[in-house]
Amino acid sequence: MEISSTEENYLKAIYALQSSGDKPGVSTSSLSEHLNNKAASVTDMLKRLSDKKLIHYKKYKAVSLTKQGEKLAIAIVRKHRLWEVFLMEKLNFKWDEVHDMAEQLEHIKSDELIERLDAFLGQPKYDPHGDPIPNAKGVLPKPKTSALSNIQNKGHYIFVGVNEHHVDFLRHLTSIGLKIGDQIKIEEHNSYDGSYLIRINKKPGQYISHKVASNLLIEMKS
């Protein structure tokens, strides 16, 4: 069965929203927003995806991926992240530059290609944003711990990934001098607005809003 790039993008979006949200299923409107499409267009596509047995769809109800749909979605995520590794490690792109290219490359159709690329890159487990890369069978390595915003305790941590990939956010991190692998010391947590005062690699204190903190993935300093 032929799957178009557009359909792949819908599957990917459903998968992403499903994993990020708490409740099961994804609404038409959230897809509409995520894909910058009108809700009516989304409904159209949901019907097509349902016909192809890639999603579970009942009128007016939230949708979810079938086994087959999830398999495809994970394959796309795998491709996206492997290409990002390629772009950064081999072609020296910066982390805020790779997303658009990877969005295109993820739709290249060839299983053999992606397996060889994986081998060429040394079978990486995480992409340059710290996101886990599913293996060829679709199994994800466990994510690199939790968001900074889940932690109130002062202490030392390592910045290992991000939850948000918008260019503006990544640029902001660059501007405050934060990059993957940096040490983060939590010096203060303001519980009324969720903001933090942290030190990055022992440098002078840096203020971090709750919003930013919720998108920073950290792990305990081991």
The residues binding a second copy (CB under 8 A) are 87, 90-93, 97, 100-101, 104-105, 108-110, 112-113, 116-117, 120
When CB distances are held under 5 to 8 angstroms depending on the partner's kind, the choice from a second copy, DNA, none that residue 110 binds is a second copy
Which is nearest to 213 in space by CA: 141, 154, 163? 163
**CB of 25 or CB of 143, closer to DNA:** 25
Q: How far is the CB of 49 from DNA (least distance, A)?
A: 9
Of residues 9-48, those binding DNA (CB under 7 A): 27-30, 32, 36-48
Q: How far apart are CA 64 and CA 208, in angstroms?
A: 35
Residue choice 62, 73, 151, 212 for contact with DNA (CB under 7 A) = 62
Core vs surface per residue 11-27: b (16+ CB within 10 A) or e? bbbbbebbeeeeeeebb
**CB of 46 or CB of 133, closer to DNA:** 46
> Does the protein bind DNA through residue 60 (CB under 7 A)?
yes
Residues 6 or more apart whose CB falls under 8 angstroms from that of 44 comprise none
The helix/strand/coil state of 220 is strand
Residue choice 22, 23, 59, 193 for contact with DNA (CB under 7 A) = 59
**CB of 112 or CB of 168, closer to a second copy:** 112
Q: How far apart are CA 222 and CA 212, in angstroms?
A: 24
Residue with tokens 């491709």: 79
Q: How far is the CB of 83 from a second copy (least distance, A)?
A: 10
